[in-house]
Amino acid sequence: MFDPESIKGDFPILDRKVNGRPLVYLDNAATTQKPRAVMDASRYYYEVLNSNIHRGTHSLARAATETFERARHTVATHLNAAADEEIIFTSGTTDAINLVANSLASSATLGPADEILISTLEHHSNIVPWQMLCQRCGATLKIIPCHDDGTLDQAAFTALLSERTKVLALTWISNAFGTLNPVAAMTAAAKQAGSLVLIDAAQAAPHLPIDVQALGADFLVFSGHKVYAPTGIGVLWGRAAILNALPPWRGGGEMIKEVTFSHTTYNELPYKFEAGTPNIEGVIALAAAIDYINAIGLAAIHSLELHLTRAAAHALADIPGIHFFGPPERSGILSFGIEGLHHYDLGTLLDKMGVAVRTGHHCCQPLMARFAITGTTRASFALYNSEADVRAFAEATYKVVAMLR
């Protein structure tokens, strides 16, 4: 396990104080802080390369294009994609899921006899696009229930799978509870039933190595800002054969080969799905973020985060009335409630002590309804968090509980 204190200096924002106290940032499931290497990559683009890509013949345009496409290769290698063209750049996980859902709707491959399967653990971004698709094509949305420990009911999942299942859309790690789903096994079962599979890896990408070929899914999506890159950039990986068969969702520049007033010929992958000027700086910075985490090693990062999550649960365990949500082994997230205290009050007072956590429903209102709660307090860990952060978080929580009772 590497020492996170050795790399804290790479993150300038961690030097700041909040309400006169050193910042303890534990809201990483919402967004991560950015290392200097990522900010330097953004600055390099604007100071040295700034130009539009793919169409220009001048030196800046060629250099920007080469750097952009090298970044695509970095992402493809990181995910073990079969080819660079399987990487589609989007504005984030939400945009990527909407791209798949809308392209499936336009392809007319789903109808009233079909079913789409999601789980109780899903973020709204992996619920609402499928509801909208069902409204358009008449398909039925089915939900995999979860047990009281926040794990998915695998027997129910098996029972729900049928020849009518056309899409399984599943989160890898729950952003609310930290539940690590058995996505490889569930993907294999869904593929055997003849379903397409989309994996929401927004929370997995910062913590776990990802091999899309070994995983066996058809689509995988994640957001850059969860993995130490800027906001506004995301990735859709898809199997080339499936992406080639789907129609584009957005029209405009870049996604075309030839346009007349009577007919348009679409571009090849990946450009068919990248209409308009992309977030060039974001793509280049995303590649820098991936290089940064790979230099440390995702196995080491995951080991640290598991250790910190266990340590935080142990440190808070003696608070009267505390209830932890999710299974005992959580991936980088500790979500809890304290009897008699509102999560918003707890989070507000923790902020006064310099500790940043997330409170509320975490864009998982159906999951909160399943547990008959309005929300939780969520601490989420990243590669720059340390045991000292856990101690500060625990000490502040005990003080806040004493103040509110």
- Catalytic residue numbers read 363
Q: Which two tokens stand for residue 368?
A: 């909160």
Q: Which helix (H) or strand (E) holds 188?
A: helix 183-192
In this structure, are residues 200 and 126 in contact, taking their beta carbons and an 8 Å threshold? yes
Question: DSSP strand E in 139-190: where?
Answer: 140-144, 165-171
Residues 6+ apart with CB under 8 A from 260: none
What is the Cα–Cα distance from 335 to 38, expressed in whole angstroms?
A: 29
The residue assigned the tokens 């509870």 is 177
User: 3-class SS at 266?
Assistant: strand
* Peptide bond before residue 270 is cis, with ω within 30 degrees of 0: yes
The residues, ordered by sequence, that sit 6+ positions from 388 with a Cβ below 8 Å of its Cβ are 5
- Listing DSSP states for 275-321 in one string gives -SS--HHHHHHHHHHHHHHHHH-HHHHHHHHHHHHHHHHHHHTTSTT
Distance of alpha carbon 127 from alpha carbon 163, whole angstroms: 21
Instruction: Classify residue 204 as exposed, middle or buried by CB count within 10 Å of its CB (0-12, 13-18, 19+).
Output: buried
Distance CA 117, CA 142 (A): 5
| 234 touches 90 (CB < 8 A) | yes
